Each structure stands twice: as C-alpha cells, then as structure tokens.
Amino acid sequence: MSASPFGPPLFAARIKAAPEDFIVEEIATEPATGQGEHLQLWIEKRGLTTTELVQRLCRWANVAPVGIGYAGLKDKQAVTRQRFTVHLPKRVAPALEALEGDGVRVIAQEWHARKLPRGGLAGNAFTITLREVRGADGAAADGPLRAAIESRLAAIAARGVPNRFGVQRFGRFGDNVRQARRMFAGAKVGRETRSMLLSAARSELFNRVLDARIADGSWERAIDGEVFMLDGRRSVFGPEALTPALHARVAAFDLHPTGPLWGRGALRTTEAANALEAAIAADERALCKGLEDAGLSQERRALRVRAEGLTWSWPGDDALELRFQLPPGCYATAVLAGLCGEMGEGAEGQPDGD
C-alpha cells in the first residue's frame, strides 16, 4: 500500500455493500443539439459493465459497436448514469421498452449532431456510502473517531489528494504490470488486452514518480524544473524559473505540479524534477522502452486533484456518506485512500472516474 500524505488509515469499512452505495453521474460538457443522426440516451445502469450495455444497445438498435458512442467506462457494481449516442441516420428509434429492464433505465433521450467521443465529459459526480465504519482498534465511529474522520476530510477538502491511478488500472489481481513486462518481452496478446497493459505500465511509472514526491513532500508544491498543468484543462507549460507568483498559483489550485505519462521523446522537466523522473525511468527501463516501442508519446498528468464540493454526512451510526466531483480520468479511490487506505472498486480495469 502506498503511503498517504495525510497519515495512516483512520478506519476500515465496507464499500459497495449495495449498488446504491456507489453512485457515479457523468457531468456533460455540452447539451445535446436537438437534431442530427445520433440519438443521445441518458441511461442509468446497475450491475452491468459499460461494455455489456453497449452490446445491449447494439442489439436494441441493430447497429454495429462503431455506431455507439460513450465518454468513458463505469463501474459494474454501482449505480451509474452516463450518456450514450446511437447512430440512427434514418431517425427511426426502436421502442425504449425493449431496452429497459434488467438493470437499465433510460432517463432522457434527445437527438444530437455528433457521436459522443471517449473523454467527452466534464467530470463525474460521486455519492459514496461507506458502511460498517470501525476504527483500527474496532472502535465505533462516534466520539473521537468521528471527530478524527471529519478533521481528515476537512484536510482533504483543503489540500486535494494525490492523483494516483487506482488499483483498478492494475487488474483484479494486480497482475497487469507483470503481464505488460511479459508482453514487452515478446508475449503475444490481443488488441484490447494490449491497450489495457500499456495503460497499466504507464500508470505504474506515474505512480512511482508520485510516490517519490509524496515521500519528499513535493506532490502539492512546485520544485525546480517543474512542468505545470492548468487546473480544469490539460494544457501544460514550463519549466520556468520559480517565482512567488507561481508558488501562489499552485497554492490556489490554479496550477498543479505534474508527472510523466511515459512515451517517446525527452522528458520536459529539468533540474530536480527531471532528476527524480529520470532516476525512476532508469530503474524501470524495460517498461519505458516497451511504451516507447509501442509508439506512445510523452504526456503529463497532474500530481494532485481536488475533490470539488466535498461534503459528508452520517446516515447511520456506522455509515459515512461522501459527495464530491472529480475531473475525467481521476479516481474516487484517491479520495478514499486518504481516509481508509487503498480500496478496489471493481471497475472494468479502468478509472472509476473515466
């Protein structure tokens, strides 16, 4: 388990005791246009992977998978609300009753001009209920423990959390990086598996850099040679000489320090930031070379993320409900890790915030 900058876990709890304990709702980037060849469906699903729902949409509309658009994968053991587009150029949609049922409910439908692209969302809103909350010594969640949990939550709200790739990215048994090493050594894998293993290898390298910066306390501040990411956008700039103004922008969450998503090309960082990243790359040369040979290019990812609008309540003596929003591609488990350690979400091998 990776160290948390907030200290050791405060409690243990059950996650996803029921699908309603983990609710994820996509935040759209733009409304439907109201006209076009793509039927946009706002769907609530339970107990289904996104891939399984895409297959149902294909059968329902009699279209190939390429005709279905969606912004990202969502958890199976959860209640998730997300948008899908179905390409129907003749504007004849089958009855919704034939699609609904068995864990699927259509909330709304509207015509749209474009296929929904992967990543086409502004973020995700989470409502997570943790049950059977108990302290490390088995103490109930009242008195001192509840006060400690709420103090930790206030610190998370104020500081943000390390933007770690969650355990879902590494496979159900945490085996994806080992498989990636085998693939880079010549083992044959299918196209979908290859993509998953490349993501796992990239995520492993990023997490290694992030852990090193948690260890030296720099995950939430700029160091010499830093490359910055603008909050709410993926545009990056730097490195440049650190100034009080830059430090102030980082403190205000206008800018974030970044780590590498490995690929071809030179690291953009210089000085201390570059030395740290280059040392980890040297330790993991096989992973780096495999990603380079696969044709991926160097990219950057913010080292921290803020749980926007973080609130909490106690719906029961041993139940804690959390509500917050995260940008796309960020994990709810990053927030939970600051409270109760790393917890697997059972997602589809992808971010629970994809």
134-145 residue pLDDT tens? 987 777 778 889
Please determine, for residue 224, whether its predicted confidence score (pLDDT) is greater than 50.
Answer: yes
Per the residue annotation, which of 75, 137, 216, 318 is the catalytic one?
75
pLDDT score of 346: 36
227-273 residue pLDDT tens? 999 998 889 999 999 999 999 999 999 999 999 999 999 999 999 99
Catalytic residue list contains 137: no
Please determine, for residue 348, whether its predicted confidence score (pLDDT) is greater than 70.
Answer: no
Handedness of CA 260, 265, 270, 272 (dihedral sign): positive
What tokens were used for 291?
């990603």
Q: Which residues are CB-neighbours of 191 under 8 A, at least 6 positions away?
A: none
Q: Which class for 244: exposed (0-12), middle (13-18), buried (19 or more C-beta within 10 A)? A: exposed
pLDDT score of 343: 60
Is residue 35 within 8 Å of 63, Cβ to Cβ? no
143-160 residue pLDDT tens? 889 999 999 999 999 999
Q: Whole-angstrom Cα distance, residue 136 to residue 322?
A: 20
Q: Whole-angstrom Cα distance, residue 288 to residue 314?
A: 45
DSSP 140: B
Please determine, for residue 2, whether its predicted confidence score (pLDDT) is greater than 60.
Answer: yes
DSSP 213: H
| Residue predicted with more confidence, 2 or 313 | 313
Q: How confident is the model at residue 90 (pLDDT cuts 50, 70, 90)?
A: confident
Helix residue ranges, H only, the chain: 50-61, 144-159, 176-184, 191-215, 244-251, 271-283, 285-293, 332-340
Structure-token match 């009699």, residue found: 62
Is residue 135 within 8 Å of 27, Cβ to Cβ? no
Using only C-alpha atoms, what is the Rg of the chain?
21
Q: How confident is the model at residue 354 (pLDDT cuts 50, 70, 90)?
A: low
Residue-by-residue DSSP string for 274-332: HHHHHHHHHHTHHHHHHHHHTT-B-EEEESEE--EEEEEEEEETTEEEEEEEE-TT--H
Helix residue ranges, H only, 9-83: 50-61
pTM: 0.90
What tokens were used for 249?
């922008």
Q: ∠9-305-331 over CA atoms, to 5°?
A: 65
pLDDT score of 167: 87
Q: How confident is the model at residue 132 (pLDDT cuts 50, 70, 90)?
A: very high
Q: Whole-angstrom Cα distance, residue 140 to residue 285?
A: 47
